Amino acid sequence: MPMTTVEFPTSGADAQARRSRLGSQGAFVGGGTALQLAWDGTPPSLTLLDVTQLPAAQGIALADGGLRMGAAMRLEALRRDALVGQHAPLLTAACNAIAALPVRHLATLGGNVAWGFGDTLPVLLALGACAENVDGRCEPLQDWLERADGTLLIALRLDVAVPPRVTFFEKVGHRAAFSPSRISIALSAGQDAQERLYGVQVAVAGAGLRARRLPQVEQALAGVRLTDGGGPRLRQACAIDLAQAPALARVAAAVITGRLKGADHGE
Ligand SMILES: Cc1cc2nc3c(=O)[nH]c(=O)nc-3n(C[C@H](O)[C@H](O)[C@H](O)COP(=O)(O)OP(=O)(O)OC[C@H]3O[C@@H](n4cnc5c(N)ncnc54)[C@H](O)[C@@H]3O)c2cc1C
């Protein structure tokens, strides 16, 4: 009979060390809302390390020109947070689009990110977020995701000193009411004096679509004016970046073209 046990490490270092010793027999747990989706009715034989009480993973604060968000923050707290609303409104928009209130009260930012498919990921990647590890060091979130080696996430950091001028977040589902996402897309970019885009960062995630940046799309949009949209080059770039999901590539191209015309333009 499989048995699930739960432990409550008191520091990030203890949690990381215990996780390393347990190997595949252990997993960090935040709200447990994504973990249990894979259990097919029967919880597996696992030791769950509850990381929601770790002191270093709490709180949302401005520090060193950046916004630091603890990995243990519940998505509903993140959604309502004034600092997030002011400095990272795209993240508020993503949280608005995630599940229903009871799930958001349980689900954590760390769990949404580490799951690999969460709706916060396109926004965090498009805004160039960094992942803070147990030793306090930060690395690009993209690198943290690619390693996928069971490293404990303590916090996410965003550089908010210079807000991007052009941004959007769009979640495409199956119907008008809440539905599991097909694809979520976020974009951030600067705009020069001729209104051409630069520093374009675009990322996506979705059901069955692991979060990622879209490098070809970013290249295709560099130097483009909002009024020009992306045209055939954008469609081609989406097809390359999302080669394994041609239908989603077409959705992505249509959303990016449409949203660039109506994106949020900073002053
Ligand atoms: C009904 C329902 C609707 C949902 N709708 C959405 C939706 O619209 N959008 C969406 O994005 N998601 C959705 N989800 C999926 C899920 O609820 C969220 O992604 C949630 O944010 C996961 O967070 P959690 O804390 O519950 O993660 P958990 O289930 O606790 O963990 C998820 C993964 O992250 C790892 N992990 C957790 N914390 C850390 C940490 N600090 N460091 C490293 N690894 C960690 C765990 O080991 C596990 O692999 C839905 C789930 C349900 C049940």
Q: Does any ligand 1 atom lie closer than 6 A to the CB of residue 155?
A: no
CA-based end-to-end distance of the chain = 61
**In what order do the strands lie in the sheet containing 46-50?**
4-7, 46-50, 26-29
Residue 240 CA to ligand 1 center (angstroms) comes to 29
Q: Is 57 helix (H, G, I), strand (E, B) or coil?
A: helix
Q: DSSP secondary-structure letter at 35?
A: G
Task: Decide: 239 in ligand 1 pocket, CB within 6 A.
Answer: no
Are 47 and 15 in contact by the 8 Å Cβ rule? The answer is no
pLDDT of residue 175: 66
**116-146 pLDDT, tens digit each:** 999 999 999 999 999 999 999 999 999 999 9
**In this structure, what token pair is assigned to residue 77?**
């707290």
Whether the CB of 99 sits within 6 Å of ligand 1: yes
Both tokens assigned to 114: 């580490």
Residue-wise pLDDT tens digits, 241-254 = 999 999 999 999 99
Say yes or no to pLDDT of 267 above 50. Answer: no
Beta bridge partners of 203: 186, 213
pTM of the model: 0.90
Q: Which CATH architecture has domain 55-159?
A: 2-Layer Sandwich (3.30)
- Of 134, 156, 135, whose CA–CA distance to 145 is shortest? 156
Q: Tell me the CATH number for domain 166-265.
A: 3.30.390.50
**pLDDT band, very low/low/confident/very high, at 64 (cuts 50, 70, 90):** confident
Q: Could you give phi then psi for residue 105, rounded to 5 degrees?
A: -70, -25
264: pLDDT strictly greater than 70? no
Work out whether the CA dihedral 46, 212, 30, 172 comes out positive or negative: negative
Following DSSP, what letter does each residue of 152-184 receive, concatenated? PP-EEEEE-SS--SEEEEEEE-SSSSS---SEE
Hey, CA dihedral for 95, 97, 99, 102, is it positive or negative?
positive
Would you place residue 30 in the very low, low, confident or very high pLDDT band (cuts 50, 70, 90)?
A: very high
Show me where the domains of the chain are located: 4-50, 55-159, 166-265
CATH, domain 4-50, list 1.10.3470, 2.60.40, 1.20.120, 3.30.43: 3.30.43
Here the tokens at position 127 are 């805004």
Check if 54 has its Cβ closer than 6 Å to any atom of ligand 1. Answer: no
**Helix, strand or coil for residue 116?**
coil
Atom of ligand 1 nearest to the CA of 121: 11
Q: E strands, the chain, where?
A: 4-7, 26-29, 46-50, 60-63, 66-70, 130-132, 138-140, 155-159, 166-172, 183-191, 197-206, 209-213, 264-265
Lowest-confidence segment of 33-42, 81-90, 229-238 by average pLDDT: 33-42
- C-beta 67 within 6 A of ligand 1: no
What pLDDT does 176 receive? 66
Measuring from atom 18 of ligand 1, which residue has the nearest CA?
112
From the list 22, 74, 65, the residue with the least C-alpha distance to 44 is 22
